Amino acid sequence: MTFVQIIDCRTDRVDELNRLMDAWVQQTKGRRTASHSLVGQDRSDPSHVVEIIEFPSYQEAMRNSELPETDRTFREMVSLCDGMPTFTDLDVVRDEQLNKAAARRFFEAAASGDLAAYEELFTQDYHDHDIANETDTHGIEGVVQEVRGYRSAFVFDFDIESQVAEADEVATRWSWRGTHRGDFMGLPATGKEVTMSGVTIFRFRDGKIAEGWWNWDLLGMMRQLGLTAR
């Protein structure tokens, strides 16, 4: 279970505190167990600073606490603060990453044919970059037409292998399996089963997908269909 520690303190020496944390990161390379660190400064009270540190588990957090650099950094941190920092230890019971869920919903809707969902998922000015297309696709209707084209050529499904989210972008690594049931690039239905894999990066704006970049194995797919020499 993911574990989060919140450190709350007051200090007018925020720059020094940041340099201290930079030093700890360098000193603990290859040994620290923290997976994510976030420092926030109160807008209404700049001396109020909160650090949020994420660990894979409570046990990993305890291992991190045992590092001599962690103990030394804590003592130096106390000297920079106005009083003793407070600690809150949290077991994460819900971690809902909304942009990841929206990206996953795109693939689910493509496979199921629930293309009406795209009105909720995409911005009206969506911009799509796909290595398979000579020109970029724009707008929700453009996306719908693209998906309809593949659905008319294949019965298919996606497997989501992994997702990584940072800031306003979500990268999804996926695999695809389809049965060729209709015209594709001028080739009539062959009944062949084909597979491919790829990575899609979606950029979000106001909770909706505003831009996308596709990198997938089009050549491998064409080879399986006999559209190009092996």
Domains of the chain listed by start with CATH number: 3-91 (3.30.70.100), 98-225 (3.10.450.50)
Q: Residue 94: its pLDDT value, please?
A: 84
Q: Residue 185: its pLDDT value, please?
A: 87
Q: Residue 132: its pLDDT value, please?
A: 84
One-letter amino acid for residue 42 of the chain: D
Q: Residue 229: its pLDDT value, please?
A: 60
Its pTM stands at: 0.78
pLDDT per residue as tens digits for the range 4-44: 999 999 999 999 999 999 999 999 999 999 999 999 999 99
Q: Residue 230: its pLDDT value, please?
A: 58
Instruction: Name the stretches of the chain with pLDDT < 50.
Output: none
Q: Residue 21: its pLDDT value, please?
A: 92
176 and 198 Cβ atoms separated by less than 8 Å: yes
